Amino acid sequence: MCICVSIDYISFHARADPIPSSPHVDVSSLRRSVLLAGPVSEVLRDDNLLIEILVRLPPKPSSLPRASAVCKRWGSILSDPHFRKRFRKHHRKPPLLGFFRGYAKNFIPAMDSPDHIPAARFSLPKSRIPYQEDEAYMGCRHGLSLLINMHKGETVVWDPLTGEERIVAFPPGFNSASMGSYCGWHGTVLCVDAEDGHVHGDCFSSPFKLVLVCAEYNQPAFCSVYDSASGVWGDIFSTMTITAGVSRLRRPSTLVGNALYLLISGGDVLVFDFKMQSLGLLEKPVENHGTDDWYFQLFCWT
């Protein structure tokens, strides 16, 4: 209710001619507005109360920039890092701005104006698109995206919001030549700083872990974890021989608790346990009617 009152007050005083010269002025409504202006002004002069109002603005791209334009005082409050952190913590889950279709140069906006984000804003520069575009984009988690360039033997951790990127070369000996004649690659990046459910808003500058998986038909699957804090890859983990490789659909992995789940071709699931530091395989039920990757989807919950 306080939010509605404050917004009405702002819009009332934002008009070029707050008291129209027209003879059709509703005097009683105008009198009520003037009477409300006093108490509302008192509320807005209190920084603590004003912050309580502003932190409840909708978590949309246009909300804070528009509110910042009201006056210098509001702009100062809204630009404060502590306010931004509290704003994220209050709303918890940010809105879906859009999604990447197939590979990183195709960003599809999901919101209407004034919150619409142009496709070019979050699209990877053409100079960074690997040779095989449809195999490049691995997904997005905690605000970070991951791409794999198998021809150069490197991964690209990319922040779509800022355009910053970090290149991480494959671990020594972790390539198609050593793993087999053909290796299906997949990867996942996740922010290590889980403060308040990753609402701190700065996962790119925080430590992150990068999981790289190689799975080939009738060969063991391999996995290694990169720690950005130390700048080194960990041990290479492997499974028993599997009968499938990474799905050509390139579905993103799923993180549940301390385990990362990756659906591979044929319906089986690779599982990497961060706590146990192990890579395992969950085989699909014997009784299934799937004949193609399109028939399988992974659902995980706790």
The 10s digit of each residue's pLDDT in 220-270 is 888 899 999 899 998 888 887 776 656 554 677 888 888 888 887 777 788
Q: What is the pLDDT of residue 211?
A: 92
Percent of the chain at pLDDT exceeding 90? 14
Mean pLDDT score of the chain: 73
Q: What is the pLDDT of residue 51?
A: 92
Q: Where are the domains of the chain?
A: 2-17+26-91, 113-295
First to last CA, the chain: 37
pLDDT band at 8 (very low <50, low <70, confident <90, very high): very low
Q: With 80 as the cut, is the pLDDT of residue 1 above it?
A: no
b or e along 47-57 (b: 16 or more beta carbons within 10 Å of the residue's beta carbon)?
A: eeebbebbbeb
pTM (predicted TM-score): 0.69
Average pLDDT over residues 190-194: 76
Q: What is the pLDDT of residue 247?
A: 56
Q: What is the pLDDT of residue 6?
A: 28
Region of 106 (left: φ > 0; alpha: ψ -120 to 50; beta: rest) is beta
Q: With 80 as the cut, is the pLDDT of residue 171 above it?
A: yes
Where do runs of H (alpha helix) occur along the chain?
Answer: 2-14, 27-45, 47-54, 63-68, 72-78, 81-91, 176-179
Both tokens of 203, joined, read: 């996962």
State which amino acid sits at residue 160. P
Both tokens of 178, joined, read: 């050593």
Q: What is the pLDDT of residue 52?
A: 92
State which amino acid sits at residue 154. E
Over residues 105-157, the pLDDT tens digits come to: 678 888 999 999 888 887 665 555 554 554 578 888 888 888 888 778 888 88
Give all strands of the β-sheet with 184-191 in edge-to-edge order. 184-191, 208-215, 219-227, 232-242
User: Quick one: DSSP state of residue 10?
Assistant: H
